Structure 1
Amino acid sequence: MLITFKSKSSPEVTMYQEHAERILDVLNKNHTRGVITAAEAAHALQLLEQEVALSKLHPEVDAAHANHSHAHHLQDEDETAEMADKNHIGFAQRAYPLLEMLRAARDGGDNIVWGI
């Protein structure tokens, strides 16, 4: 399933739900639908930037999270590890578009909504 984030201050950002859930968990937001108000944008940006920094400091945790999310697609454990190593897209890369949207929302005074 896809989640599309919308804001007047930037283009839409669409993510797979499994990737967006980690971001929304960090922000303590509902996975199905919600809003990050313009007033919340600066704090949300700070929280996500901290999580990105932590994921870069501890890439093994980031990789383990990726293995878990891809494991249901693959039968063999060795194949899972090999696939994760070759195609690993970290949390920082996945969060980047939403970080940019949060910056634009903060600067433009706009809300970000999803699931509406």
Structure 2
Amino acid sequence: MLITFKSKAATEITMYKEHARRILELLHKDVERGIITPPELPQAIQKIEAAVAESKAHPISEEVSRDVNAHHNENGDDNEHETPEPVSFATRAFPVLEMLHAAHKMQREVMWGV
């Protein structure tokens, strides 16, 4: 399932719900549908930037390791798959963070699921 973030301050951003979930849970927002109002933007930006900094401090999480191990056997054989290249939280959050900054600058809301 996909989620599309919309704001009059920036271009739409579409991402998988499972990837958007972590961002939205940081903000205590519903994954299905919601809005970040202009007064909420500074705190939202701060929370996401803090999570990005934390993810950079610990680049390989247990969750990523579990994912890699689920697709490869204990000998490290590839099973005819390409070598996994995990996408960091910082990389996934970057477009949304940029949208939040633009929305804050223009005092516009950010919505999804509508």
The question of a shared fold, defined as TM-score above 0.5 by the shorter chain, is answered with yes
2:18 matched to which residue of 1? 18
Match of 2:104 in 1: 106
Question: Per the alignment, do residues 14 and 68 of structure 1 end up closer, same or farther by CA in structure 2, a change over 3 Å counting?
Answer: farther
Query: Displacement of 1:66 after TM fit?
Result: 3.2
Q: Is the 8 A contact 1:18 1:69 kept in 2?
A: no
Q: Which runs of 5+ in 1 are unaligned?
A: none
Helix, strand or coil at the partner of 2:31: coil
Superposed CA RMSD in Å reads 2.2
User: Counterpart amino acid of 1:90?
Assistant: S
What is the CA-CA distance between 1:79 and the residue it aligns to?
6.0
Secondary structure of the structure 2 residue equivalent to 1:51: helix
2:88 to 90, 96, 115: 90
Count, aligned residues: 110
Larger radius of gyration: 2
1:58/1:8 CA distance change after superposition, 3 Å: same
Q: Report SS of the residue matched to 1:49.
A: helix
Tell me the TM-score normalized by structure 1. 0.83
Identity of aligned residues (%): 44
Q: Which amino acid aligns with 2:20?
A: A
Q: Which runs of 5+ in 2 are unaligned?
A: none
